[in-house]
Amino acid sequence: MIRSLLAAVFFFICSIISPVKSLSADKCSDRLLLDGADSVMVYGMDTTNHWWAITKPFTGKYRLFVDGKQTANVYEQFRPPVFSPDGEHWAAYGYRTTGWEVITDDTVIYTNASSVGDIVFGQSSAMAYSFFDGDIETIVLGNKRYFAQDRRSKIYISNDGSVVSYVCSRLGVEFLRTNGQDETQFDEIKLAGIWNDNQPFYTGKQGVLWKIYKGSDEMSSGYESITEMVLNPQGTNGAAICNGQQSAQVFLYSDEYYEPLESKRYDRVEQLVLHPTLPMVGFKGVVNNVANIVLNRTEYDAGKEAGAPFFTYDGSEFIYFGFDVDFFISVNGKKYVQESNLSLSQLFAVMPGNKTFAYSTNSAMVVHEMEKNFSYSGRMFDQAIAPRYNRRTERYETLALIGTRLIMLACKMK
């Protein structure tokens, strides 16, 4: 009798589990990228369908793989590769005894420098890179070279690839340097990028007050501090968090507006994010220790805790994860309560229009359905990075190590 009962329970459990396994197998797959012949030191993905890994074939020697293609030479050092916004090009620094080289998808540039700075791509795929000769940094954009001393900001390239801008410091003051020309000096500067009219968009401090500028034009009144400033990839919309004595506001600037859009006043504002194309800004606004997630001037309940808001790659969904009584995800203002308690510090990937999200645990990539509270996962691994939603393949992907082998795990939800 007991055996019959145990057998019945066993078959009942199998009948429940089997569909889940078959569904996961149907949706999730894995592919071997590197067979583990060489030690994988570090690996990663970008948002434009590429993956990369740095391996160690010999003691003190390294090789870079991008999408399975390896560099012709081995190097003593590598910097992780940088990819162009359209995904058509990439570049990385590699060091050999003759000096640092810039390895790109189609060539190698010899600098003979003992030290290097940054590699950046503009929206038009124009590439700038920099290297040092003593304290002087040389920035190369196309066939032009510009100099920087004590650079204090990232390097920014205009959308058409004709302008490069950055912040330098000299004798206790900071100044913009654009195409090799020094601009107005300030006590301090925070550069957000270059507007689509090729004017730098930044905030500058003179005395005790900060103001927002586009080129030499003042765009705002004076504030005690401007803590965050962002510009969208097209250089058409920008936003800043401006703090006064007793309140904070967000100002949204756009080619579509004659005047900036002002948010409500808050005790504190943080976690600023811009829509990729439209004049829409999201942030967390706090009043009397109660937080809301805000989209332009519309407020959403943040619960007891909330992660940073973000837009999906196409801007169709405004999303944040939070915790109240239960863990939840908010999509365009609608909350989906989840049975699992997840960490808000995790990095989540979201496929727009699909009501799913993905994350990596210590041993699996999990894809969770928001409405059904149902999860899928594929092969288990030893370690992995945060997943991405790959819009080109329409699937969730992560890179993982299983033993010494590098694997791409993927779950396709359509």
| Residue numbers in the chain where pLDDT is lower than 50 | 1-23
Tell me: do 396 and 317 sit in the same domain.
no
Q: Which of 321, 342, 363 is the last residue of a domain?
A: 342
Residue 33 lies in a domain: yes
Residue 163 lies in a domain: no
Tell me: do 265 and 370 sit in the same domain.
no
Q: Assign 20 to helix, strand or coil.
A: helix
Structure token pair of residue 136: 């002087």
pTM summary value? 0.90
Query: What confidence score (pLDDT) does residue 8 get?
Result: 39
Residue 7 lies in a domain: no
Q: Which of 282, 307, 342 is the last residue of a domain?
A: 342
| Residue range(s) defining the domain that contains residue 314 | 226-342
Tell me: do 337 and 356 sit in the same domain.
no
Tell me: do 82 and 42 sit in the same domain.
yes
Residue 370 lies in a domain: yes
Query: What confidence score (pLDDT) does residue 112 get?
Result: 82
The three-state DSSP-derived secondary structure of 324-341 is CCCEEEEECCEEEEECCC
- Name which of 348, 275, 345 is nearest 317 in CA terms: 275
Those residues with Cβ within 8 angstroms of residue 218's Cβ, 6 or more apart along the chain or in another chain: 211, 212
Q: How many CB atoms lie within 10 A of CB 269?
A: 24
Integer Cα distance of 20 and 108 in angstroms? 49
Tell me: do 264 and 333 sit in the same domain.
yes
Q: Which of 291, 325, 342 is the last residue of a domain?
A: 342
Q: Are 251 and 234 in contact (CB under 8 A)?
A: no
Residue 140 lies in a domain: no
pLDDT digits 0-9 by tens, 27-40 = 899 999 999 999 99
**DSSP letter, residue 266:** B
Structure token pair of residue 353: 């229009």
Number of domains into which the chain is organized: 3
Tell me: do 232 and 337 sit in the same domain.
yes
Tell me how far CA of residue 179 lies from CA of 58, 130, 144, 145, 398, in angstroms. Answer: 42, 14, 9, 9, 39
Q: Assign 287 to helix, strand or coil.
A: strand
Structure token pair of residue 105: 């998808």
Tell me: do 324 and 338 sit in the same domain.
yes
Tell me: do 232 and 316 sit in the same domain.
yes
Residue 157 lies in a domain: no
Query: What confidence score (pLDDT) does residue 4 get?
Result: 42
Integer Cα distance of 237 and 235 in angstroms? 6
Query: What confidence score (pLDDT) does residue 23 get?
Result: 43
Dihedrals φ, ψ of 305, to 5°? -140, 150
Tell me: do 336 and 254 sit in the same domain.
yes
The three-state DSSP-derived secondary structure of 144-212 is EEEEEECECCCCEECCCCCCEEEEEEECCEEEEEECCEEEEEECEEEEEEECCCCCEEEEEEECCEEEE
Domain CATH for 289: 2.120.10.30
Burial 179-213 (b: 16+ CB within 10 A, else e): eeeebeebeebbbbbbbbebbbbbbbbeeeebbbb
Tell me: do 337 and 354 sit in the same domain.
no
Residue 311 lies in a domain: yes
**DSSP letter, residue 323:** E
Tell me: do 358 and 338 sit in the same domain.
no
Tell me: do 234 and 293 sit in the same domain.
yes
Query: What confidence score (pLDDT) does residue 1 get?
Result: 42
Sign of CA dihedral 355, 407, 121, 283: positive
Residue 141 lies in a domain: no
